[in-house]
Every structure is written in C-alpha cells, then in structure tokens.
C-alpha cells in the first residue's frame, strides 16, 4: 500500500489529453514539492516534472504538472503511442522523514 | 553529461550481505543529496534511503532500517549501499538517483536474494 495513491491505469486515444492523479496528505503533497517520473519497461525512471510543475530541460511542454491541497496531477496533451509507459509521483514526507512514491499508473495510448 | 553507474548487484543467499556502488560523473557529486530506490520485478518504485551532501544525515525506509547503510565518498564521487541480513523480499533492481528531486538515475543493478 503506497503512501501516495495513483490510479493503476489510464488510457486515451492518440492526440487526446490524459490526466493522472496523485493523492496524498498534508505531510507529503500538502506541504512539499511533487515530482513525476516516466518509466519505460526495462529502463530507469526519468524525471518529467519537479517542484510541482517545473519541467527539466528537454521535457516537452505536452507534459504539465499541477498541485492543489493534498493532490497533484500530471497532464499529458497530444498523446503519442510513444508516451505509453508507467508514471509515478513522488514527494518527501515530513512526518515519516522519507521519500514516498505513488504505486504507479500505466498509460495506454 | 550527468552519469550514474551502479554496480555490485549479484545473487546472494538469504542472510547474506552485499555492497552496492554508484559512481557519479559529469557533475559536482559533493553538492547533491543522493538516493537509493529499488524496484522488485513487475512492481513499482520503492524509496530505500537518502544521504545529504556531507554524509552526516541519512534516512531509511522502515523495511531496511537497521539492515542497510547508505554512505558516500565525495573524494571518489561514489555512493554506497551496504546491505546486510538480506531477505527474499529485497530482490529488486536498485537505482541510485541524484538530488532532492531525483533528477538523474543510473541504469540500475539487480540484486537477487535466493537460496
């Protein structure tokens, strides 16, 4: 059971938009930055979003992040088949004093 | 270019020990917190441990506390994870990741705990 809750899977057609939610609490998402990671099978995770909505260099603006209260959302527009991957949210938990991940969401395009 | 290269993964019997290494290059290693994250086969990411820049502050997941020790050698640009009293449930790919946001990850090293 992950501290952060994500839907196990989401799907949408190519060209459409999808959102992936990440629900936490005041000790993690509510008072700390949220990061999002993309992982293709057999490869290492890659940072997509940091500090709630910032994109690292090289990440297209089709990917966006937002946060409200104790929940965060990853948005992906203009879906491509190449976006099919697992997506994880993560945040520091101040009460537990450790980093927590969501259980991951498998995106099907 | 930022590079993180893990090594040390192996097949080990339950109760055994292993030390993982993560060699960093392409950035000033001593300026960044570092993490270890693991992923069991077919499962999600699980944070294991983190260490501050000087190596004076560490945190651990409850599942490894008292068995695993994270450390670093800034002179060698290397992060370590000493794993003792290994259990079958520690079987996973272990990744090192850079910085508070885990902005860069290594390719991972596989640890298999089995008799």
The sign of the CA dihedral A54, A60, B25, B5 is positive
Rounded to an integer, what distance in angstroms lies between the CA atom of residue B45 and that of residue B48? 9
**Alpha-carbon radius of gyration of chain A:** 13
Rounded to an integer, what distance in angstroms lies between the CA atom of residue B64 and that of residue A71? 28
Q: Which of A47, A92, A104 sits opposite B45 (nearest CB)?
A: A104
Q: Is A106 on the interface with B (CB under 8 A)?
A: no
Model confidence at B15, pLDDT cuts 50, 70, 90, reads very high
Within 8 A of A105 by CB-CB distance, chain B residues are none
Q: Is A36 on the interface with B (CB under 8 A)?
A: no
Rounded to an integer, what distance in angstroms lies between the CA atom of residue A38 and that of residue A84? 9
Q: Is A12 on the interface with B (CB under 8 A)?
A: no
Assess whether pLDDT exceeds 90 at residue B58: yes
* A vs B: CB pairs below 8 A: 57
Task: List the pLDDT tens digit at each of the 109 positions of chain A.
Answer: 789 999 999 999 999 999 999 999 999 999 999 999 999 999 999 999 999 999 999 999 999 999 999 999 999 999 999 999 999 999 999 998 889 999 999 999 9
User: What's the average model confidence in pLDDT over B55-69?
Assistant: 96
* Residue-wise DSSP of chain B: --EEEEE---EE-TT--EEEEEEEESS-GGGS-EEEEEE-TTS-EEEEEEE-SSS--EEE-TTTTTTEEEEEETTTTEEEEEE-S--GGG-EEEEEEETTTT-EE---EEEEE--
Within 8 A of A101 by CB-CB distance, chain B residues are 37, 44-47
Q: Counting every residue, how long is chain B?
A: 115
User: What's the average model confidence in pLDDT over B37-62?
Assistant: 95
* pLDDT for residue B101: 87
Model confidence at B65, pLDDT cuts 50, 70, 90, reads very high
CA B10: distance to chain centroid? Answer: 14
Within 8 A of A97 by CB-CB distance, chain B residues are 59
Rounded to an integer, what distance in angstroms lies between the CA atom of residue A50 and that of residue B34? 16
**Alpha-carbon radius of gyration of chain B:** 13
Q: Is B34 on the interface with A (CB under 8 A)?
A: no
Closest CA–CA distance from residue B92 to any residue of chain A (Å): 12
The sign of the CA dihedral A47, A12, A9, A91 is positive
């Amino acid at each position: 059971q992950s501290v952060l809750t994500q839907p196990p899977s989401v799907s949408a057609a190519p060209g459409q938009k999808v959102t992936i939610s990440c629900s936490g609490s005041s000790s993690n998402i509510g008072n700390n930055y949220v990061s999002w990671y993309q992982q293709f099978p057999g490869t290492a995770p890659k940072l997509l979003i940091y500090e709630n909505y910032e994109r690292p260099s090289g990440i297209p603006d089709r990917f966006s992040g937002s946060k409200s209260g104790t929940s965060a959302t990853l948005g992906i527009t203009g879906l491509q088949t190449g976006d099919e991957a697992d997506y994880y949210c993560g945040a520091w938990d101040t009460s537990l004093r450790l980093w927590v991940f969501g259980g991951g969401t498998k995106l099907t395009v | 270019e930022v590079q993180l290269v893990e090594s040390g993964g192996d097949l080990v019997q339950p109760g055994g020990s292993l030390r993982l290494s993560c060699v960093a290059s392409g950035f000033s290693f001593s300026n960044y917190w570092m993490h270890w994250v693991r992923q069991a086969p077919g499962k999600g990411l699980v944070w294991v441990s983190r260490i501050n820049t000087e190596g004076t502050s560490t945190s651990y997941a409850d599942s490894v506390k008292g068995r695993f020790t994270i450390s670093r050698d800034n002179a060698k640009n290397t992060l370590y994870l000493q794993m003792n009293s290994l259990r079958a449930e520690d079987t996973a790919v272990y990744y090192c990741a850079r910085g508070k946001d885990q902005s860069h990850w290594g390719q991972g090293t596989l640890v298999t705990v089995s008799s």
